[in-house]
Chains A and B, each alone.
Chain A
Amino acid sequence: MAQKNLRVMVAKPGLDGHDRGARVLARSFRDAGYEVIYTGCHQTPEQIVEAALQEDVDLIGLSCLSGAHKHLFPRVVRLLDERGAGDIPVIGGGIIPDKDISYLYEQGIREVFTPGTHIQTIIDWIEGNVTPREAL
């Protein structure tokens, strides 16, 4: 009866506390059958990466509404690389102007979801792009 659950982290880097979207997403992920590791607000990229390793997550979803995404998202990707965990995909959401999106892709963010995105769209993306880690 082996069951495999996707372990997904929902993290809020930066100093803003607008967690409405992150919380709705966390609940929707739970309802999609994922095990969701929620970090709370005001996390540094370092904290997020360490938590992701300790929790062995399959995906990190970042939400930032402070405008600091261009600084914070790439930093998470970089730190994951440094810790030998560059295989963990990072996606981002929040108030992100179109002109920043291609920069974030260049920096290794796998997908960016902007306001108005249906949650089902995000879940579909995950289903199509993320699989639970292989066994040892």
Chain B
Amino acid sequence: MHKDQTDMSTAERIRGGDIRLASRLIRNLEDKNPRAREVVKELFPWTGRARVLGLTGAPGAGKSTITDHLISSYRATGHTVGVLAVDPTSPFSGGAILGDRVRMQKHAEDKGVFIRSLATRGALGGLAAAVDDAVHVLDAMGMDRIILETVGTGQSEVDVMNNAHTVLLALTPGLGDEVQTLKAGIMEIADLFLINKADQKGASKLYQELMRMLNMVSEHHSGWRPPVLMLRDIAHPEDFAQQVEELRAKIDEHYQVLVDTEVLAQREYRKARLQFLNSLRTSLLDPVVHELEESGELKDIVQRIADKRSDPHTLADELRSRFLR
């Protein structure tokens, strides 16, 4: 506000709360625009303050509704909240319906809440990399709490969870083989299990299944055994709000355990490693692919492999020696 807007850099304006610009930056990151990386570099020193919650589960598990209530809880204690809500891209058209924010629209006018929807954009979209950076953007904007919401049925959605300090897996009874539809690996990374709509038939069976599964794990890292929580009675707002408070307390407790046991540092290390490797891949590979596409060479290469005139490894090695000089 002290400086004229035009004198401020993009990064400064975003840190100053320019929501639309932040959203544009996230779009440019999704589009893999090289200039967007420059802005993230400038924002990076301001990151590292936010606590990141990953919320995942099968479609219909009520994730957005839980997010909506957690936002209310965080806002009641004066925390700012950023939400990155990921919905799947249609493999047929490349389009997507991003409908998660419908269930959070009551926070639309709250200046302390920033909700941004993203599409998965398929396997080539690099969702994890875009989300990595989007988290940095929200973090640098001063969001105290960041919620990453994805459907836990694809690998890219699971990869996104690497950004989270705490991973919350939402389940509901009555969806049948819901546990089976989730991507293998997601059960292992969950720090908290939540049985939503626990007043529906089948809740206690689901609870027992989860308990049995957790009992099979001989040792929980950092001594944290993932608790199984329940949410019920959404029709009784006061009771429901109380349960959300308990959920939030558990999330906070888990974070504290991470801090106390130095697991936090390990996770930050792992996250940094992944981010670096992602970025390296982007900065090494993307220009190469771009050039091959522009020159039309990529098409020839692929055709040669398809015609069995050469193999992928030989051609990749050839290109390495050409580009990595």
Q: Residue A127 at the B interface, CB < 8 A?
A: no
Cβ proximity bits A64-106 to B, threshold 8 Å, 1 near / 0 not: 0000000000000000000001000000000000000000000
Contacts A3-B94, A33-B94, A53-B20; A135 near B28 (Cβ below 8 A): yes
Q: Please, what's the 1-or-0 string for B1-22, where 1 marks a CB less than 8 Å from any CB in chain A?
A: 0000000001000000001110
Beyond A1-B289, A35-B96, A40-B99, list 13 extra A-B contacts (CB 8 Å). Answer: A1-B293, A2-B31, A27-B97, A39-B105, A40-B102, A43-B105, A47-B105, A51-B115, A54-B20, A54-B23, A55-B98, A55-B116, A135-B28
- Given A5-B94, A7-B27, A26-B97, A136 and B21 touching (CB < 8 A)? yes
For the complex, is A124 an interface residue (Cβ under 8 Å from B)? no
A26 to B87, CA, bound (A): 14
Question: Interface range on chain B: under 10, 10 to 19, 20 to 34, or 35 or more?
Answer: 35 or more
Interface residues of B in 73-128 (CB under 8 A from A): 89-90, 92-99, 101-103, 105, 108-109, 114-117, 119, 121, 124-125
Q: Are A36 and B20 in contact (CB under 8 A)?
A: no
Kindly identify which residue among B23, B89, B99, B293 contacts A56, using a CB–CB cutoff of 8 Å.
B23
Question: How far, in whole Å, are A51 and B267 apart by their CA atoms in the complex?
Answer: 33
Q: Is B24 an interface residue (CB 8 A)?
A: yes
Q: Which residue of A lies closest to B31 (CB)?
A: A2
**Of B35, B93, B114, B293, which contacts A136 at CB under 8 A?**
B35
A89: min CB distance to chain B, Å: 15
Known interface pairs A26-B97, A135-B28; A1-B290 also in contact (CB < 8 Å): yes
B101–A33 touching, CB < 8 Å: no
- Grouping DSSP codes into helix (H, G, I), strand (E, B) and loop, the A interface class, with mixed when no group exceeds half, is mixed
Name, among A27, A35, A50, A133, the residue most crowded by chain B CB atoms within 10 Å (CB to CB): A35
B33 at the interface (CB under 8 A from A): yes
B32 contacts partner chain A, Cβ-Cβ < 8 Å: yes
Whether, in the assembled complex, A4 has its beta carbon less than 8 Å from a beta carbon of chain B, the answer is yes
Name 21 A/B residue pairs within 8 A (Cβ), A-sorted.
Answer: A1-B289, A3-B31, A7-B27, A30-B90, A34-B95, A35-B95, A36-B97, A37-B117, A43-B105, A46-B109, A47-B105, A53-B20, A54-B19, A54-B23, A54-B108, A55-B23, A133-B24, A135-B33, A135-B35, A136-B21, A136-B25
Indicate if B286 sits at the interface (CB-CB under 8 A). yes
Q: Are A136 and B105 in contact (CB under 8 A)?
A: no
Structural contact, B24 and A32, CB atoms closer than 8 A:
no
The reply on B301 being an interface residue by CB < 8 A is no
**What per-residue 1/0 map shows which CB atoms of B272-296 lie under 8 Å from chain A?**
0000000000000010011001000
Asked if B36 is at the interface (CB within 8 A of a chain A CB), the reply is yes
- Chain B residues, Cβ within 8 Å of A34: 95
One digit per residue, 1 when the CB lies within 8 angstroms of any chain B CB and 0 when it does not, for chain A 1-27 equals 111110100000000000000000011
